[in-house]
A = this chain, B = another copy of it.
């Protein structure tokens, strides 16, 4: 039946399509990705991709999924430093890493958290799962940071997580969308944001 997933004519079309598509959007943004151009690049006909992705939307969702996985890895690698750094240092490092990811994978980031999928399109079920899991991880971390005194432990962690993520996301967007344009500034603004968000009730 369908135990072995290897396609028939092409080596592994689904994978190739994903790779080529990622290349295309990395080159010139989501606008640079058309099914036809993609099919051309891979060497199949215009409608071949439709046997591996229901939609263009489904293709974009698959790319976004890959992005979440990649981002998860990055976050994991910071968690590993948990014992070596102080809570504020850890938080700042997280923020800067998050921003670096958004910068280096601009277009993927846009797909992951942009309206293209979440509003205009219909997010795939698996994408919804993976993204929810991602937020849950952030929530856990926020709880740790609350215990570490970084955030107010009195406040509901859900709200704190939402607020702080929104602040971070907003910065990334302003940069990624071309409103803030100086990359040098971004890290400065980020550090400032960190200081503003950190609970300062007991600093004196």
Q: Which residues of B contact A4 (CB under 8 A)?
A: none
**1/0 per position for A142-180, CB-CB distance to B under 8 A?**
000000000110010001101111111111111011111
Choose among B160, B165, B193, B204 the residue that contacts A166 (Cβ–Cβ < 8 A): B193
Q: How large is the interface on A (under 10, 10 to 19, 20 to 34, 35 or more residues)?
A: 35 or more
With A170-B169, A178-B119 known as contacts, the answer to whether A196 contacts B193 (CB < 8 A) is no
8 Å CB interface, A86-123 against B: 110, 113-115, 118-120
Q: Looking at the complex, which one of B152, B166, B179, B200 makes contact with A167 (CB distance below 8 Å)?
A: B166
Is residue A47 contacting chain B, with contact meaning CB distance below 8 A?
no
Contact of A170 (CB < 8 Å), options: B110, B118, B167 = B167
* CB–CB B196/A160 < 8 A: yes
Contact A192 B118 (CB under 8 A): no
Contacts of A189 in B (CB 8 A): 159, 162-163, 166
Name A's B-contacting residues (CB within 8 A).
29, 31, 110, 113-115, 118-120, 151-152, 155, 159-160, 162-174, 176-180, 185, 188-189, 192-193, 195-197, 199-201, 203-204
